[in-house]
């Protein structure tokens, strides 16, 4: 902790996740200080120096770990294939860890990290920021108020139009790199479905690679049957020329439909911060609708609150309370992803044992 009572943070990686999500959210949290960034890119190092002139820049992980005693928290926002190794090194150094989703490429690696953190008594959590999307918070409000009645079907989509492939691990990486849309975007949708409706007992999936010169899946559908009887249908695609609703939730009393994306990512990319007026809010014309058939009415969107994640991390560091995301939840998400891959390979419905 520094002289002003702020926890000192070391950030691994300054690509999209590090620069657009973690660094701004850390900077916006009064009890955190971005002490160091690790990046091997000279261009990104210059970007850090410009945006955060008081932050140390290291060219590799070893440089940062030499200063482990000067840090209170590390955040891992590197390519997915390096998550497990860096997190293990941080835990061995006694440093609390935030790992960007999808945590690790395999469920086994996730189990090992959770066990390592428990053995060492060091906090470990996963950045599942989409739990604090405005539409996710709005659906939670509807469920808590029983406004839809008993929900029997939940539809959720992250669909994009990216017809040209990129030479990156997201498009070209195999399972060991957690490449493809199932790991990248699907991990969000699966986590949201588990948060809203609980554990799942079976998984069915269809995975395709449609664009030329792409090695990983770029159009995937996953169907979950929850232990409470609800069905979640999840779509992720980079080749959706027209996009369906972000959420459609069907209950026995009413339905809720919402189009469009939460505005927080776009705001962060443009340099806005959560402490600015109007953060996370969206105009009335973007609200979802609730009702039956043509008799619907707008339902106000709850403001998105990405800042709540790092506020929760501070509470964990301060008083030892549970972290904002239980890593066991991220492990279950990976078990669902692995079941989806098995299902897509042979067209089966894969049963999952209950975890709790």
CATH of the domain at 89: 3.40.50.720
Rounded to an integer, what is the distance from CA 77 to the centroid of its chain?
Answer: 11
**Residue 296's CB: how many other CB atoms inside 10 A?**
15
Domain boundary among 114, 129, 144: 129
Q: Are strands 200-208 and 73-76 parallel, antiparallel or unpaired?
A: unpaired
Tell me whether residue 59 is in a domain.
Answer: yes
Tell me whether residue 121 is in a domain.
Answer: yes
Query: In this predicted model, what pLDDT tens digit does every residue of 20-37 receive, in sequence order?
Result: 999 999 999 999 999 999
Reduce the DSSP state of residue 272 to 3 states and report it: coil
Query: In this predicted model, what pLDDT tens digit does every residue of 165-175 receive, in sequence order?
Result: 888 888 888 88
The model's pTM: 0.96
Mean pLDDT of 197-207: 98
Q: Are residues 254 and 277 both part of a single domain? A: yes
Q: Are residues 22 and 86 both part of a single domain? A: yes
Tell me whether residue 258 is in a domain.
Answer: yes
Domain holding 223, by residue range, is 134-307+336-351
pLDDT at 171: 87
pLDDT at 5: 93
Q: Are residues 60 and 189 both part of a single domain? A: no
Supply the mean pLDDT for the chain: 96
Tell me whether residue 188 is in a domain.
Answer: yes
Separation of alpha carbons 346 and 250, rounded Å: 30
Query: In this predicted model, what pLDDT tens digit does every residue of 149-168 receive, in sequence order?
Result: 999 999 999 999 999 988 88
Mean pLDDT of 272-288: 95
| Residue 266: Cβ-neighbour burial (10 angstroms; 0-12, 13-18, 19+) | exposed
| Backbone phi and psi for residue 203, each to the nearest 5 degrees, phi listed first | -135, 135
Q: Are residues 103 and 140 both part of a single domain? A: no
Number of domains in the chain: 2
Listed in order, strand segments (DSSP E) in the chain are 7-12, 32-38, 56-58, 73-76, 97-100, 124-127, 151-159, 200-208, 219-226, 231-237, 247-251, 255-258, 288-292, 295-299, 350-351
Q: Are residues 113 and 140 both part of a single domain? A: no
Q: Are residues 114 and 151 both part of a single domain? A: no
Separation of alpha carbons 262 and 269, rounded Å: 13
pLDDT at 356: 56
Residue holding tokens 């996730």?
A: 110
Rounded to an integer, what is the distance from CA 235 to the centroid of its chain?
Answer: 16
Q: Are residues 144 and 270 both part of a single domain? A: yes
pLDDT at 237: 97
pLDDT at 174: 80
Mean pLDDT of 97-103: 97
Tell me whether residue 163 is in a domain.
Answer: yes
Q: Are residues 104 and 48 both part of a single domain? A: yes
Mean pLDDT of 4-33: 97
Domain boundary among 99, 129, 159: 129
Residues composing the chain: 356
Residue 314: cis peptide before it, omega within 30 degrees of 0: no
Q: Are residues 29 and 162 both part of a single domain? A: no
pLDDT at 49: 96
If pLDDT is split at 50, 70 and 90, which confidence band does 354 have?
Answer: confident
Residue holding tokens 């588990």?
A: 194
Tell me the angle at which helices 107-120 and 327-346 cross, rounded to the nearest 10 degrees: 170
pLDDT at 170: 85
Domain boundary among 98, 129, 160: 129
Q: Are residues 176 and 74 both part of a single domain? A: no
Question: Please, what sign has the CA dihedral across residues 248, 251, 252, 257?
Answer: negative
Q: Are residues 167 and 207 both part of a single domain? A: yes
Question: Please, what sign has the CA dihedral across residues 196, 198, 199, 203?
Answer: negative
Query: In this predicted model, what pLDDT tens digit does every residue of 293-314 receive, in sequence order?
Result: 999 999 999 999 999 999 999 9
CATH number at residue 246: 3.30.360.10
DSSP string for 243-260: ---SEEEEESS-EEEE-S
Tell me whether residue 111 is in a domain.
Answer: yes
Radius of gyration of the chain (CA): 20
Q: Are residues 289 and 254 both part of a single domain? A: yes
Tell me whether residue 329 is in a domain.
Answer: no
If pLDDT is split at 50, 70 and 90, which confidence band does 355 have?
Answer: confident
Separation of alpha carbons 279 and 257, rounded Å: 23
Tell me whether residue 143 is in a domain.
Answer: yes
């Amino acid at each position: 902790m520094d002289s002003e009572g702020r926890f000192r943070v070391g950030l691994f990686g300054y690509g999209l996740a590090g620069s657009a999500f973690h660094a701004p959210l850390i900077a916006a949290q009064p009890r955190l200080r971005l002490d160091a960034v690790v990046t091997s890119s000279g261009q990104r190092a210059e970007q850090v120096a410009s945006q955060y002139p008081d932050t140390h820049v290291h060219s590799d992980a070893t440089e940062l770990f030499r200063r482990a005693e000067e840090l209170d928290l590390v955040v891992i926002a590197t390519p997915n294939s390096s998550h497990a190794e860096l997190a293990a090194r941080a835990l061995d150094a006694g440093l609390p860890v935030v790992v960007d989703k999808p945590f690790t490429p395999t469920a086994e690696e996730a189990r090992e990290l959770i066990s390592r953190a428990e053995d060492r008594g060091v906090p470990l959590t996963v950045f599942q920021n989409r739990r604090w999307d405005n539409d996710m918070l709005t659906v939670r409000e509807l469920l808590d108020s029983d406004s839809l009645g008993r929900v029997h079907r939940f539809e959720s989509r992250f669909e994009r139009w990216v017809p040209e492939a990129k030479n990156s691990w997201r498009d070209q990486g195999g399972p060991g790199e957690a490449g493809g849309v199932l790991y990248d975007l699907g991990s969000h949708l699966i986590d949201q479905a588990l948060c809203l409706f609980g554990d799942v007992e079976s998984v069915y999936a269809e995975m395709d690679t449609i664009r030329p010169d792409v090695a990983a899946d770029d159009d995937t559908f996953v169907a979950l049957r929850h232990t409470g009887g609800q069905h979640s249908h999840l779509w992720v695609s980079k080749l959706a020329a027209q996009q369906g609703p972000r959420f459609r939730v069907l209950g026995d009393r009413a339905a809720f439909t919402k189009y469009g994306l939460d505005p927080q990512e776009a705001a962060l990319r443009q340099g806005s911060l959560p402490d600015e007026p109007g953060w996370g809010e969206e105009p009335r014309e973007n609200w979802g609708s609730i009702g039956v058939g043509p008799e619907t009415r707008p339902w106000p969107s709850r403001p998105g609150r990405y800042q709540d994640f790092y506020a929760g991390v501070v509470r964990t560091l301060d008083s030892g309370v549970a972290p904002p995301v239980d890593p066991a939840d991220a492990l279950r998400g990976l078990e669902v992803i692995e079941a989806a891959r098995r299902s897509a390979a042979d067209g089966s419905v894969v049963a999952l044992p209950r975890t709790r």
